[in-house]
Amino acid sequence: MIAILDYGSGNLRSAQRAFEISSSEVVVTSDPKICIEADGLVVPGVGAFAACMAQLASVGGKEIISSRIEKERAVFGICVGMQVLFEESDEKKMCSGLGILAGNVSEVRAPILPHMGWNTVKPSPESNLFRGIEEESFYFVHSYAAKKFVSGALNTTTFYGEEFLSAIERGYVVATQFHPEKSGAAGAKLIANWVSSL
């Protein structure tokens, strides 16, 4: 069973449908017990970093995610759901993240922001997430990103004005800056790769 953490963050309906292609049971919930026990937990996230952190706190998201990390259970962060896994972000004002991944989140240095649309990725050769879709494009919509390689993890990068981390795979912690649930067939394959690893 896959749980999508519901903490009042935008369009969760299409995320649920996209994961249902690969998994027979997908629930959108903020119930801590279900979120902790699920085979995989998806942490979505849109909007500002600080707002997402505040909303996460309001449903006990930090405890849910920490508990899963402790138990070595799969977590998949998407977009701002990836960013909150890092130590901090300077979006609007400095704000602490969950600190699960080392590094910080800062504005992408590009003349036109948000970085909006389909872009390619440069996955690590050992990547499980991108197996069979290394050459595909994925849908991005963000202005901030993590840029420093995370040591001990498989780092996937994308270029927009500068190089940034478009995905991270570190054991049971997986995250993408792009939206796989909005990335058509390539996104569906990426989700399938993750689901089959659970």
Partner 1 sequence: MTLAKRIIPCLDVANGRVVKGTNFKDLVDSGDPVELAKKYDFQGADELTFLDISASSEERETTIEIVRMAAEQIFIPLTVGGGIRNIDNVNELLRAGADKISVNTAAILRPELLNEISDRFGNQVLVLSVDARRAPTKSGFEVTTHGGRQSSGLDVLTWVTEAISRGVGEILLNSMDADGTKAGFDLEMIRAVREISKVPVIASGGAGAISDFADAISAGADAVLAASVFHFGQFSVQDVKKDLAKRGFSIRL
Report the alpha-carbon distance of residue 110 to residue 120 in Å, rounded.
16
137: left (phi over 0), alpha (psi -120 to 50) or beta: beta
Q: Which of 160, 164, 178, 194 binds partner 1 (CB under 8 A)?
A: 160
Cα end-to-end span (Å), the chain: 10
Question: Please, is 198 exposed, middle or buried when counting C-beta atoms within 10 Å of its C-beta (0-12, 13-18, 19+)?
Answer: middle
Q: Which of 187, 189, 193, 195 binds partner 1 (CB under 8 A)?
A: 187
Q: Helix, strand or coil for residue 178?
A: coil
Q: Which of 116, 132, 171, 196 binds partner 1 (CB under 8 A)?
A: 116
**Going by C-beta distance under 8 Å and a sequence separation of 6 or more, which residues neighbour residue 13?**
none
Please give the DSSP secondary-structure letter assigned to residue 165. Answer: E
Query: Per CB under 8 A, which region of 27-35, 36-44, 81-89, 105-113 contacts partner 1?
Result: 105-113
Site string for partner 1, 120-159 (x = CB under 8 A): x----------------x-xxxxx---------------x
Looking at beta carbons only, is 68 or 182 nearer to partner 1?
182
Q: Which of 32, 47, 60, 99 binds partner 1 (CB under 8 A)?
A: 47
How many residues touch partner 1 under the rule CB under 8 A: the total is 36
Looking at beta carbons only, is 100 or 141 nearer to partner 1?
141
Looking at beta carbons only, is 10 or 171 nearer to partner 1?
10
Catalytic: which of 35, 79, 91, 115? 79
Give the closest residue to 131 by CA, choosing from 121, 141, 123. Answer: 123
- Packing angle of the helix pair 61-70, 49-58 (nearest 10 deg): 80
- Tokens, residue 107: 């504005």
179 is catalytic: yes
79 is catalytic: yes
Query: Per CB under 8 A, which region of 25-33, 101-109, 149-157, 180-188 contacts partner 1?
Result: 180-188
Indicate the pairing of strand 74-78 with strand 40-43. parallel
70 is catalytic: no
Report the alpha-carbon distance of residue 157 to residue 166 in Å, rounded.
5
Query: Residues in the site for partner 1, rule: CB under 8 A?
Result: 10-11, 13-14, 17-18, 46-48, 51, 111-120, 137, 139-143, 159-160, 179, 181-185, 187-188
**Catalytic positions:** 79, 179, 181
